[in-house]
Amino acid sequence: MSNLESLKFFWPELILSATALIAILSDLFYERKESHKVSFWAIGGLLLTFITIRLFGGSSVNGLFMGTMALDPFSEFFKILIVLSTIIVMLMSFNSSELDGYRKGEYYTIMSIMAFGLVMMTSAIDVLMFYVAIEIVSIMSFFLAGYLKRNPNSNEASLKYVIYGAFSSGVMLYGLSILFGLTGETNFFAIKNAISQLGPDSNLALILSIVFILVGLGYKISAVPFHFWTPDVYEGSPTSITAYLSVAPKAAGFALIIRFFNIAFGSNSAMGSDEWSSLNSLPWPFLIALLSAATMTIGNLVAIQQQSVKRMLAYSSIAHAGYMMMAIPVMSQSGIYGIMIYLFMYMLMNLGAFFVVMYVQDKFDGENFDAFNGLGWKMPLLGISMTLFMVALTGLPPTSGFVGKFYIFAAVIEAGNQYYWLAFVGVINSVVSLYYYIKVVRHMYFEGERSDIVSLPESKLTTSLVLVLALPTFFLGWYFSPLVEWANNSLNFFLGI
């Protein structure tokens, strides 16, 4: 589809671009103490983007801008997830004391630009668009991680993020350049056709290309051994940004991994082990499965040792990336389906957990486990909600986390007995994670002194937002068929140019 014809399907991205521009301009007219009002423009633009995605989505399947982007239900699912998580994090930021003393207009503007980059990642079907979208997201992430410029930990987080990000980006770009050198193409579909015609003398170069590309994409989803940036960056960033980084870039990263490997090295509709194995006869499914097992194991084992709840959740997010990676080696319809369901559930429970951490950090001036002592008695709403989020992150019924893990494990088991060991590792890791998640609950109810005075958060927005995240986390554990049906209907890819 030509560029002009594509514009009529590009409204969500155009609205996001306009939102960022309006946010920049509006910030010029607000005084420093009123710069938070930029958030109204940003959230309004994101809500309009959400409505537009629903209006122009549906069952439409097209290639846009001369085959560089895809419009399909698959990308629509991830766009909605990204836009929703961005809106929630912006609302979370309203009452964040960490941002006091800083001009907030730039904060909301950068988040709007980052959302634009994430949305572009979910639709990219060309190497150039793929890389440009990732760089937009990376640069905005660096700014947000170091937004608390008077905080040394935030400065350290931003610096480490830049160093690791530049390294992984360079390695990935080198891999993409090798792939271009082998195929002479940048479009994913054209790359697939060119790879099928390569001779055995290209095997080593193709292997190096795939490995280097996996480095860049593994960095985005915090997969081991590309996870070293995650704990320090998450700990030093504003808590609201930590929550955002743990959800939105991870969702876009998985969308890009699924689309890229499904198109370039798979059979479009679903990639099974036969297609993986055909890549130079290397056991790709087994190698990715090993990365998945290492990711969830290291994430959980190191999370046990943490004294900071925020840092614990950072390592926990690494473990959850490992759970989702379990479905990548099999990459069947049920595998992709499982990842999509898990990501939506994970968005709710992880943002909720970070929101409670942010409130405790602001209210009690601490993020260690001891700061949660007696919280369940002092503030029952927060205590019950945090308990729910911890149970859901563990993957226990009757919460949405159980449903998410159920579909992931079901996809792995359906793939055959060669993956039973991976499912077993996943179950063991879920049991291990129960230790540090329940530790938070223990501190809320069994540590410290009980309080005879029961209170609610001072802000109605805080109370509302906790409920907005907690109620779906609970009810989606009982009634999840609409979400499952939506994910099933979204398994419709753009299959060719």
What confidence score (pLDDT) does residue 404 get?
Answer: 92
**pLDDT band, residue 270 (cuts 50/70/90):** very low
Q: Distance between CA 92 and CA 356 in Å, rounded?
A: 10
- pLDDT, tens digit (0-9, with 9 covering 90-100), for 389-404: 999 999 998 899 999 9
Averaged pLDDT for residues 187-205: 84
pLDDT value, residue 281: 61
Query: In the block, which residue shows the tokens 């090798």?
Result: 178
| Least-confidence region, from 79-83, 217-221, 390-394, 488-492 | 488-492
Most confident residue range from 23-32, 78-87, 228-237, 263-272: 78-87
Say how many Å lie between the first and final Cα of the chain, rounded: 9
Q: Specify burial of residue 308 (Cβ count, 10 A radius: 0-12, 13-18, 19+).
A: middle
- Give the C-alpha separation, 336 to 258, whole Å: 7
Structural domain of 473? 268-497
Query: What local confidence, expressed as pLDDT, does residue 495 receive?
Result: 67
Judge whether 7 lies within some domain: no
339 vs 334, more confident: 339
Residue type, 447: E
Phi-psi region for residue 152, left (φ > 0), alpha (ψ -120 to 50) or beta?
alpha
Question: What is the pLDDT, as a whole number, of residue 496?
Answer: 62
d(CA 115, CA 140): 9
Lowest mean pLDDT among 11-25, 128-142, 226-240, 447-461: 447-461
What pLDDT, in 10s, does the model give residues 433-460? 999 999 999 999 988 777 767 777 878 8
- Crossing angle of helices 460-475 and 333-364, in 10° steps, is 150
Tokens of 120: 């572009």
Per cent of the chain over pLDDT 90 is: 47
The span from the CA of 194 to the CA of 378, in Å, is: 64
Structural domain includes residue 4: no
For 71, the 3-state DSSP assignment is: strand
Q: What is the pLDDT of residue 58?
A: 61
pLDDT in tens, 106-120: 999 999 999 999 999
Query: Omega of the bond prior to 225 within 30 degrees of 0, cis?
Result: yes
With tokens 């003393």, the residue in question is 101
Rounded CA gap, 67 and 327, in Å? 28
Residue 128, CA atoms < 13 Å, CB-side half-sphere? 8
Indicate whether 281 belongs to any domain: yes
For residue 183, the one-letter residue type is T
SS3 per residue for 253-301: HHHHHHHHHHHHCCCCCCCCHHHHHCCCCCCHHHHHHHHHHHHHHHHHH
pTM: 0.93
485 domain residue, yes or no = yes
More confident residue, 183 or 268: 183
Which residues touch 256 (CB under 8 Å, ≥6 apart)? Answer: 121, 122, 124, 130, 134, 217, 220
Q: Is residue 412 part of a domain?
A: yes
Q: Which amino acid is at 175?
A: G
Query: Is 214 buried (19+), middle (13-18) or exposed (0-12) by CB count in 10 A?
Result: buried
| Total structural domains within the chain | 1
Q: How confident is the model at residue 267 (pLDDT cuts 50, 70, 90)?
A: low
Q: Find out whether the peptide bond into 380 is cis, omega within 30 degrees of 0.
A: no
Assign 110 to helix, strand or coil: helix
pLDDT in tens, 293-337: 999 999 999 999 888 899 999 999 999 999 999 988 886 788 888
Residues 380-395 have a mean pLDDT of 93
Residue 181 counted as domain residue: no
Mean pLDDT over 476-483 rounds to 90
What CA–CA distances, in Å, run from 342 to 7, 97, 254, 299, 395? 32, 31, 11, 18, 10
Give mean pLDDT, residues 201-212.
Answer: 87
Q: What pLDDT was estimated at residue 88?
A: 95
Confidence tier at 273 by pLDDT (50, 70, 90): very low
Q: Which amino acid is located at 289 in the chain?
A: A
pLDDT exceeds cutoff 90 at 469: yes
Give me the helix-helix angle, 380-394 and 400-414, nearest 10°: 0
What value does the mean pLDDT take over residues 345-365? 91
Evaluate whether residue 465 is within a structural domain.
Answer: yes
Residues 218-265 pLDDT 10s: 988 888 888 888 888 988 889 999 999 999 999 999 999 988 888 877
Burial of 453 (0-12, 13-18, 19+ CB in 10 A): exposed
Report the distance separating Cα 423 and Cα 408, nearest Å: 9
The beta-carbon contacts of 54-57 under 8 Å, at least 24 apart in sequence, are: 54/80, 56/9, 56/11, 56/12
Task: Categorize the per-residue pLDDT at 279 as very low, low, confident or very high, splitting at 50, 70 and 90.
Answer: low
> Do the domain assignments include residue 334?
yes
Question: Is the pLDDT confidence value at 277 over 70?
Answer: no
Return mean pLDDT, the chain.
Answer: 87
Q: Are 406 and 480 in contact, with CB atoms under 8 Å apart?
A: no
Q: Give CA torsion, residues 356, 387, 324, 427, to 10 deg.
A: 150
